[in-house]
A and B are shown apart, each in its own frame.
Chain A
């Protein structure tokens, strides 16, 4: 099978912004769930009302992780927020540990 050359490619983290509706769709969840995550401080969009929110491309990873945690582990938004903070902290500690243990 010949590969299919794809030309319309964007690097999400530098060239894409999402509205609330777009981010919900990309994450396969409802806008309400995304609003919950914003209320918990997991995501910090620009704009002062949900219809005007814009999320940075770099939010995609965090949003998707949060949505997976909520869905797969039956967490609520505060639980997912806590898990994400702890995961970030583990990541930081690990990279520090890497230097200490050398």
Chain B
């Protein structure tokens, strides 16, 4: 396990006062918040700054971290001292951005065995849990059974939290869209006594695909064409997530033309459409015969000026 320098994560000195730390955290939180940020790795960075702030804003945890961290640098191999939870007792707060799912191994080693984040009267029903899972676009076209591996926090009688891997197998309904949720009844945290467990919500996300772009229920696919196919018209095979279709390209098509295949997007009560985005590729003139062909073309199209042709 590597030591994490929480001060460096927030870009503050070790001597920084709480208000300084809070300002630094808020700046980073706005920059990296996964709902707002388009930075790559925004989510991972947000978790890092949240975890750093969670520790540094709490005088007890900060003091404990400082004691352990006095002789460590970021990235160094780190082992918590023996009997490390013995001397400290931490009071958790339920409003923390860092949920049980998000804590780093390093954080868990230091603070993970603290009494859980619940406080006040024990709840009857268990908490709901949330996780984001990726599926392939083809799964949404056809429906599928998929297996997901989640890290599940469990609390023992003393409210200590430990993590266990849990493999779930779930049927993905045909027509599901990115950003939609599956509710797995009773798969959240267990309730107290006879009270029911919470539910588990899986937020669906499509794995990025080189060819397809999805917007709601509509699917966009780029269809590269040879100049003669675009000019003379052609019937070309287009691969869809669930098979192939034959696409009729009308004569006189230009790059950027959008052909709609109605109902060939994501299936559903109102199925989406598939949009084939035509893109004319210019063949390389890397042989004498290819160059000759272009010269013949130039003569045949002596009136053609691409900079005057209005877009179709």
Chain A residues in the interface with B (C-beta under 8 A): 1-6, 8-13, 16, 25-26, 28, 57, 60-61, 64-65, 68-69, 71-74, 83, 87, 95, 98-99, 102
Contact = CB atoms under 8 A, between A and B. Distances in A.
A28 B99 CA distance: 11
A25 B198 CA distance: 9
A12 B176 CA distance: 10
A4 B213 CA distance: 32
Contact of A28 (B30, B128, B169, B177): B128
Interface of B: 26, 29-30, 33, 35-36, 46, 50, 95, 97, 125, 127-128, 130, 147, 165-171, 173, 176-177, 179-187, 198-199, 201, 203, 213, 215, 255-256, 258, 277, 279
Contacts, number: 90
A71 B97 contact: yes
Interface centre among A11, A60, A83 (most CB of B within 10 A): A11
Contacts of A10: 182-183, 185
A84 to B, nearest CB: 9
A12 B36 contact: no
Chain A contact surface mostly: helix
A72 B28 CA distance: 11
Contacts of B125: 25
A26 B169 CA distance: 22
Contact of A65 (B35, B147, B176, B186): B35
B182 A5 contact: no
Given A6-B170, A25-B128, A72-B97, A12 B165 contact: no
Nearest to A74: B26
B201 A68 contact: no
Given A4-B166, A28-B127, A102-B277, A72 B180 contact: no
B168 A16 contact: no
B181 A2 contact: no
Contacts of A13: 177, 180-181
A86 to B, nearest CB: 9
A12 B181 contact: yes
Contacts of B177: 13
A45 B203 CA distance: 22
Given A25-B128, A61-B180, 18 more contacts: A2-B167, A3-B167, A4-B166, A4-B167, A4-B169, A5-B169, A6-B169, A8-B184, A12-B180, A12-B182, A13-B181, A61-B179, A65-B35, A68-B33, A69-B33, A69-B35, A71-B95, A72-B33
